[in-house]
Amino acid sequence: MSAYWLDWLSLLTRWAHLIVGIAWIGASFYFVWLDNHLDAPTDAALKDKGVAGELWAVHGGGFYNPQKYRLGPPQMPSQLHWFYWEAYSTWLTGFAMLVLVYFLDPALNLLDPARAAPAGYAGVAVALGFIVGGWLVYDGLCRSPLAKAGWMFQAVLALLLAQAAFALCWLFSGRGAFILFGAMLGTMMVANVAMVIIPGQRRMVAAIARGDAPNPVDAQRGKQRSVHNTYFTLPVLLTMISNHYAGITHAAHNALALVLLAAGGAAIRHWFVLRHRARERAGRTSPLALALGVSLIAATVVLLQPPRVAGAAVDDARALAILDIRCVTCHAEHPTFPGMAAAPNGAMFDSLERARAKRSLIATQVQSGAMPPGNLTGLSDDERAALLRWAQAR
């Protein structure tokens, strides 16, 4: 496939992934908000029908009155709306992006010769193992007696995820590790929907249709997995955008950064969940979860701050010569690197003016080791240091 058509395929797949992802995450955020804003009904007729909570809301010029039943209505309504296509579509388009950007040419973005993963498609197999294995371990943990242990379950899950993050950063390139961590969490989320939540809901619907009472275990398991998905959301969104920030993904302590940022996102999400129920505490919500999340992110910012490189000044001619050999094959108005139709992110270094305009970007990419990807053009340590001194000079 030519670079032109590959670019279009990548753009349209990414666009579709964004659209359905917004639909899924938006629905998730809304239902978490809704669940935490329901009040016990005061109408005796609603109580007799089995309504556990209701809410009045106004939006778009109209009034809404959603109600939630303890297990299900006495009779199945003729129209029942399901929420699952958003989750499935998000995973399918996301996996397609994973294949297009990381798996088709693993040496470009997924693998790094300095890391431990095997070369070529053997490295892709290891990556797939993390995605599938992550779900199997997580699902087994949820089905174990530990799932009822509250904070202990949360601590064990957090520890396992942190270990996975360190293992991925040891095996793969920074970009590859971050995106695979997100893909692993995203797979857990969609598998929760496909393997637990929707099957349980189908059993509940079938029971009501037969005139039987639904099994409360199905409702409890669905709620458990839905809550987990809530806390996975912000870390997954972080990894989706991380490949644009090489200063983070390819930092010396990138694994620790990934863990701290993911934990910070989960803590901030917890603060929002607590805030939904502030009316139960006279409108007050403790800022501790928010403060923890912000502190973890701030600590990451300090941790990854790059040092300035000492040494002799590097003139423009020397910098341009290195860029011309090691970088301009891709970063030019007309790239010559096979399969490259346009300069990545529009960054071009094929003239002094263009290179100077991108000094900050060059410094970040060179210092982190993210560029050239997999060091495909053989940028030496001396050349990297020279480019960095030139880019950091003002």
Tens digits of residue pLDDT in 67-106: 999 888 888 888 899 999 999 999 999 999 999 999 998 9
Contact call for residues 72 and 219 (beta carbons, < 8 A): no
More confident residue, 392 or 310: 392
**pLDDT score of 358:** 85
**pLDDT score of 2:** 67
pLDDT reading at 378 higher than 90: no
Average pLDDT over residues 187-192: 97
DSSP 102: I
**pLDDT score of 394:** 61
**pLDDT score of 279:** 82
pLDDT reading at 218 higher than 90: yes
**Would you say the C-alpha torsion 148, 154, 159, 160 has a positive or negative sign?**
positive
Average pLDDT over residues 210-228: 91
State how far the alpha carbon of 304 is from the alpha carbons of 43, 256, 260, 278, 301, in Å.
57, 10, 12, 36, 6
Q: Could you tell me which residues are beta bridge partners of residue 51?
A: 69
Average pLDDT over residues 321-326: 88
Closest to 377 measured CA to CA, from 329, 338, 331: 329
pLDDT reading at 296 higher than 90: yes
pTM of the full structure? 0.86
Average pLDDT over residues 240-248: 88
pLDDT reading at 133 higher than 90: yes
Average pLDDT over residues 342-369: 83
Closest to 176 measured CA to CA, from 112, 90, 258, 235: 112
Contact call for residues 320 and 387 (beta carbons, < 8 A): no
Which region among 36-50, 123-137, 166-180 has the lowest average model confidence (pLDDT)? 36-50
**pLDDT score of 77:** 87
Average pLDDT over residues 377-389: 85
For the chain, give every domain's residue range. Answer: 9-36+84-303, 316-392
pLDDT band at 1 (very low <50, low <70, confident <90, very high): low
User: What whole-number distance in Å separates Cα of residue 210 and Cα of residue 215?
Assistant: 13
